[in-house]
Structure 1
Amino acid sequence: MRNPLLSLCLLVVFISCKENKDNSTEEREVKKDTLVEKIEVKIPSNGRTDRDLSDIKFVEQEELIPFLKAYGENNPESIVDVETEFGSFRIELFPGPVLHRANFLRLAKLDYFNTTVFHRVDSDFVIQGGNSDRMATHEFRRAVGDYLIPNESTPKYPHDYAMVSAAKYAEQNVSNASSPFEFFVVTKPDGAYHLDGKHTVFGRVIDGMDVVEIIDDLETDDSEWPLKNVGMDMKVIR
């Protein structure tokens, strides 16, 4: 079950709440903030990463944009497979959100996502991944950098069903900048368009939405963390 001490240091990133919920967005945010400290969840059994992180360049906010632009030019791939215990699904990354595509590819190639789980499931709204209570995840975050990605949302990429978008910090984020580490897949059949402009869509699931839907149906606790952790093995294909 979740260690309360680890919970205190867990980077909590929320995405905007579902439209037409019983409570207002503000009320739900307060409710969830209260529940996070009270709900216990299972911690994955593996702890520290065996990977040597010393070769990872630490990126600061001031150098982020030129760094990611250069990385994107040198890494043109756009297809990523996400394997889970329920099967795999394939993500196509859009070229438009240059910084988000480059950042996602970088983390995938570094194997960061392989230390994480789908830690939030809000059925018929989103599944969210890229975080965990594993020490390996937090070691990776400390090695990768301390930055936020500028919002790159565009009307060209709305939050349709199956779209992949970036999570963000809920507080003191008037620019709607993105977390570099967490992403979500829209599972709302008629889209989640109230998120447009607030979050940056940078890809879509082009195959395997049936697997995403299995994860979307998992039982969760009151903080929307699945009762059974669902890890991922992410591979850049081409």
Structure 2
Amino acid sequence: MKRLFTLVILLTTLTAFAKPPKNQYVRISTSYGDCIIRLYNETPKHRDNFIKLAKKGFYNGTLFHRVIQNFMIQGGDPDSRDTSKNKPGAELGNGDVGYTVPAEFNDSLYHKRGVLAAARDDNPAKASSGCQFYIVEGKRLTDEDLDKLVQGRLKGRAIPAAQREVYKTVGGTPFLDQNYTVYGEVVTGIEMVDRIAGVKKDERDRPLQNVPMTVTVLSKGECKDLDKILSPPTP
């Protein structure tokens, strides 16, 4: 009986250990620091596509090629690895992977400071680029700012009270909501975004000095540890 009890405990422990983490995380590393991003489970197509590319090393060596302070930093163009195109001053932003990702809009996911979102061209379905992305730096807005956006660029679409509070206290870019898919957020290292957003740039908003990145998918163990830190179990 004792042996059976020990076996049950062992199997229970192994099963618990084998459970996948609740969330998946990636690390973006640059000469301006690192940040860790939690990918949203609510946007599985974008989450899985980003992980697939990152595991292949697709993003390694690509540049943050467009930066606008108080707005966002954009990267992921495969052309930015091309030595004939990545020289300072050359135009970037048109590279792709030959496919798009269907839009995954969610009312609870919005453009607050630190979110990861998909870039895209001007297409009716608002389908996302298969590879290019941006991270929001944003800025804090007042009620007056938000009211003007609702009547203007948002064409009367109301901003929920909870989101308004975040835009006022944390900041963001609400005029992009429901137009570009948000699929993750920075959980540590937002300072990296601020530093990159503030670099000197040319008239195309391209940094005068290249800002390459390395993107790493965190291990299951690391993801579980982050889950515990960021979402501790209810006592």
Q: Normalising TM by the smaller chain, what interval?
A: 0.5 to 0.7
Q: Which residue of 2 aligns with 1:116?
A: 62
- Alignment of 1:188 onto 2:158: no
Structure 2 residue 203 is the aligned partner of structure 1 residue 203: no
- Residue aligning to 2:128: 178
Distance in 2, matches of 1:116 and 1:165, equals 17
Instruction: Give the secondary structure class of the aligned counterpart of 2:183.
Output: strand
Contact in 1 for aligned 2:202/2:208 (Cα 8 Å): yes
Query: In the alignment, what sits opposite 1:135?
Result: 82
Larger radius of gyration: 2
Residue of structure 2 aligned with 1:79, choices 25, 48, 58: 25
C-alpha spacing 1:84/1:186, structure 2 compared with 1 (3 Å): same
Alignment counterpart, residue 149 of structure 1, candidates 101, 107, 123: 101
Gaps of 5+ in 1: 1-73, 139-143
Shift in Å at residue 115 of structure 1? 2.8
TM-score (norm. length: structure 1): 0.62
* Distance apart, 1:233 and its partner CA: 1.0
State the match for 1:163 in structure 2.
115
Query: Which whole-Å deviations, capped at 9, do the CAs of 1:95-137 have from their partners, x for residues lacking one?
Result: 0111000000001101010031000001100000102433389
Partner of 2:216: 235
Offset at 1:193?
Answer: 1.0
Residue in structure 1 matching 2:193, options 202, 209, 212 = 212
Alignment of 1:11-160 (within 5 A): 78-131=24-77, 132-135=79-82, 145-160=97-112
Q: CA RMSD in A?
A: 2.3
The alignment of Structure 1 onto Structure 2 pairs a total of residues equal to 158
How many angstroms apart in 1 are the aligned matches of 2:196 and 2:71?
A: 12
Q: Judging changes above 3 Å, is the alpha-carbon distance between structure 1 residues 145 and 86 closer, same or farther for their aligned structure 2 residues?
A: closer
- 2: CA distance, partners of 1:220 / 1:145: 26
**Are the aligned partners of 2:65 and 2:80 in contact in 1 as well (CA < 8 Å)?**
no
Q: Partner residue of 1:14? A: none
Partner Cα separation in structure 1 for residue 75 and residue 45 of structure 2 = 19
Report the CA distance shift for 1:215/1:85 in structure 2 as closer, same or farther (over 3 A).
Answer: same
What TM-score comes out, normalization by structure 2 length?
Answer: 0.63
Q: Counterpart of 1:229 in 2: which secondary structure?
A: coil
Question: What is the aligned partner in structure 1 of residue 164 from structure 2?
Answer: none
Give the structure 2 partner of residue 36 of structure 1: none
Q: Secondary structure at the residue paired with 2:107?
A: coil
